[in-house]
Every structure is written in structure tokens, then in C-alpha cells.
Structure 1
Amino acid sequence: MNATLSKTSSALEEQFARRLTARLSAGDELPHDIGERLRVARQQAVARRKLAPALQPAQVVVASGGAAALGGGWWTRVGAVVPLIALVVGLITISIIQDENRVNDMAEVDAALLTDDLPPAAFTDPGFAQFLKTDATDTASR
């Protein structure tokens, strides 16, 4: 099926190329400068076409019997698992560092509040006492 399709496709390409070449060759009504540019472009295309098959690398097939080229077996499994382990360790490390940064930020805020000068009326204010109680229970629950 694919061979037939590729033959049909190449035949259509060949037919189109022949019609295009005939049309370009019959360009008597074109100005001289355009005709010369087309001639030079055709020569360059033909030169590239001749070089193209020589520049294609050879295909190499290596039969390894289903094993990886590194030696197969357990190396393949280790090579597949190591990046996963590195990802998990990295995510855990990032989580720990973020938690420590949050705790340090809260400690700095608490220290600034506790060492700041407060007027004596603040200690008798029921709202401030409630604030201290809720702040203490929030930090204890974390």
C-alpha cells in the first residue's frame, strides 16, 4: 500500500516538474533579466539536487536484543529511577526550606511586637488580650 502510494506520489511530482520545466523553458515573452535569473536559479537547483544524495548519512541499525545500549538490564532501570528520586528529594527540600522561612518570618514579627514599646493602656485593653490569646493559639497549632 505504502509502496503504491509513494510510486503514485513520485509520479505526480515528476509530472508536475516536467510541466513546470516546459513552462519555464518556453519563456520567450519574459524580459531578458528575468529569464537569466530563472536560468541561474535552475542551474543552482540542479546542482543542489545532484549533491543531495551524496550528503545523506548512512543509516545504522544496531541490534541489541531488546536491551539498552548502556549494557541493558538493571542499568536501564536505575537510569529511569534516578531522575524521579532526584525530583522527589528536590521537592521535599524546597518544602522544608519554605516552612523554615515562614517560621522565621513569624518569629521576627512576634519578636518585633513583643519588644516594641507599648503604652500601659494596651495591656488593660480587652482586644489586645484577645489578640495575644489568639496569636498564641495560632502559633501553638502550627
Structure 2
Amino acid sequence: MNPTSTPSSGALEERFGRAVAARLSTGEAALPHDVAERLRAARMQALARRKPAQAHTPAVVAGRSGTAAVLGRGDWLSRLATVLPLLALLVGLVAISAWQDEQRASEMADVDAALLTDDLPPAAYTDPGFAQYLLREAAAAH
């Protein structure tokens, strides 16, 4: 192991477990036979409980295109639960985009309607002198 790399949490747990097991094994000879048998039975039960928990955990494998695949014994509900948040996000983004497009179109329609129904022709709004006139009128109004 390099000095710059850090061991993973799984490796640290494994190392700690081995150290505890070694320490317990050294003191086992001094224990009475009935206590040693109870400890052996407890170890066997702990190992029996640990193995099924590892067998059912799905593994995530990264693909070449940056996607991840979930492997394991998951039923279709767990796979659906994995995909459902992504699907909800996509539907939300499409809905937001459509709503923003509708808002922009509505705002442009309001501006067009105001320009076309105004007493001034649209060319007046491009005249620099008219812009100065509007600024003077706004200053006089305040």
C-alpha cells in the first residue's frame, strides 16, 4: 500500500475484525470448556447471519459510457425504485421547459399586442429622439 493511498472502510473493518479474533483466540485457552463452547457457538451463529446479508446486496458496476448497472438478485420493484427518481426528474425538467417556453411566448405576445394597438407606429420606438422624449416625460411625471 502506498503512503498516499488510504485503505477503504471495508479493509479497515476486515483488519479490525481479524485483530479482535486473534486477541480472543489467544485468551481462549485459559477459558473453561463450557465458556469456550458457548463462544464457538456464538461465532458460528454470527457467521451464519453474516453470509446471507452479503449474498443479497446488489453490486453496482460502472459501464464504459458512464452509466451504472445494478447487478444482483433484486426483484423488479427494487429496479423500478432505482429508475423512478430519474424518471421523475426528467418529467419535471420537461414540464419546466414547456412552462418557460409558454411564459416567453405569452410575454412576447403581450409586447406585440401593446405595440400594434398603440397610437404610435412601431418605427417611433427605434427613433433616438423619441427615446429622449420618453425619458423627459418620465422625469417630469415624478
> Which is richer in helix?
1
- For normalisation by structure 2, the TM-score amounts to 0.38
Which structure is higher in RCO with an 8 Å CA cutoff and minimum separation 6? 2
> Which is richer in strand?
2
- Which is greater in Rg? 1
- For normalisation by structure 1, the TM-score amounts to 0.38
